[in-house]
Amino acid sequence: MTPHVRRVYGGRNWFNSSVHAIMDGVPADRDPRDVVCDLAQEMVARARALGWSGPPFDPVQLANIESIRVRPSDGPMESDALIRALADGSLEIVWNQDTPSTRRNFSVCHELGHTLFPDAYEVVRHRSARRHNPDDELERLCDAAAAEILMPREEFVRDLTDLDLDAAAISTIARRYAASPEATARRIATLSERSCAAVLLTLRLKLTEERRGKQRTLALGGRGMVGPDPKLRVDYTIPSISFGLHFPEHKSIPDDSCVYEALHGGSTSAVETWSTGKTEVRLAVHALSIPADAEGRLRALALVVRPRAHG
């Protein structure tokens, strides 16, 4: 295994060579995420000057403005989309013909994010569910760029101020921007001035329970598995700037949370007390079901909002 070169930008370690390339000549105290978002906003501004508008913002039109071809795949693909250099030196984005349109839009924007990096022409990148370090760093930055492109902050912030923060708002904005509810909730948490967070939850066992369960199943010759019930557990938390709390990965939420009711479709809301593991916090919880993961486990999205301080 080749050792990865470590560089420090914005006070954090970065190992990915594409990140090193985009930070070349940029002051090292800047966060690469801000640098990438600035470049994505510049791409948006260039396109706007040529009449690109929305919402919804059409990423295929933007790609064409950037002289990048976009087409559906001819057959099944392992990833949602990929970008590659053609023989004539131009770039082409191919999206998986089997993915729903909202995911396709985000994926095309994600691939456009790759073109912000100086070495985009040298490296073919796949967007897939299997993400490994240090490519993770790059993939997350391209997701950040994708959000800037599909949901430009100017319009998005304006739309956000007109709506209450709840499940209906996620659906309304997602439709308006032709984005998935998940990408929309993340964008809301990233840009909202309210104290809120987007939390993605999957109905699953603890990793240790899963291992024990497999051992037990083997011991029983594959017959009936008796063990703990799966719970809704945190996959990730995207907090707003003022939220100030973090629900760690794998943490479960209360057994009687309204999010369980949303699992089989629709949306629910309730005021609940959640724990971060260190502290308890009272929250307005707005939950929305989203498609199951690749293993068929049920998932939900929760937009959690801290009550406004009374003054």
**Contact footprint for Zn ion (CB under 5 A):** 125, 127, 139, 142
What letter represents residue 58's amino acid?
D
Handedness of CA 34, 36, 41, 42 (dihedral sign): positive
Q: How far is the CB of 127 from Zn ion (least distance, A)?
A: 4
Burial environment of residue 90 by CB neighbours within 10 A (0 to 12, 13 to 18, 19 or more): exposed
Q: How far is the CB of 138 from Zn ion (least distance, A)?
A: 7
Q: Which is nearer to Zn ion, 148 or 166 (CB)?
A: 148
Q: Which is nearer to Zn ion, 145 or 198 (CB)?
A: 145
Q: How far is the CB of 129 from Zn ion (least distance, A)?
A: 12
The answer to whether residues 188 and 176 touch, using CB atoms and an 8 Å cutoff, is no
The answer to whether residues 187 and 145 touch, using CB atoms and an 8 Å cutoff, is no
Q: Which is nearer to Zn ion, 125 or 233 (CB)?
A: 125
Other CB atoms within 10 A of residue 262 CB: 25
Q: How far is the CB of 142 from Zn ion (least distance, A)?
A: 5
- How are beta strands 81-85 and 91-95 bridged, if at all? antiparallel
Q: Which is nearer to Zn ion, 94 or 142 (CB)?
A: 142
The tokens for 61 are: 């039109």
Residue with tokens 């994010």: 113
Give, for 202, the enclosing helix (H) or strand (E).
Answer: strand 196-204
Q: How far is the CB of 160 from Zn ion (least distance, A)?
A: 27
What letter represents residue 225's amino acid?
M
Q: How far is the CB of 110 from Zn ion (least distance, A)?
A: 6
Q: Which is nearer to Zn ion, 125 or 231 (CB)?
A: 125
Q: Which is nearer to Zn ion, 104 or 231 (CB)?
A: 104
Measured torsion, CA atoms of residues 251, 296, 105, 152, in degrees rounded to the nearest 10: -20
Q: Which is nearer to Zn ion, 62 or 298 (CB)?
A: 62
The tokens for 227 are: 């063990």
**Cα angle 176-177-180, degrees, rounded to a multiple of 5:** 105
Q: How far is the CB of 135 from Zn ion (least distance, A)?
A: 8
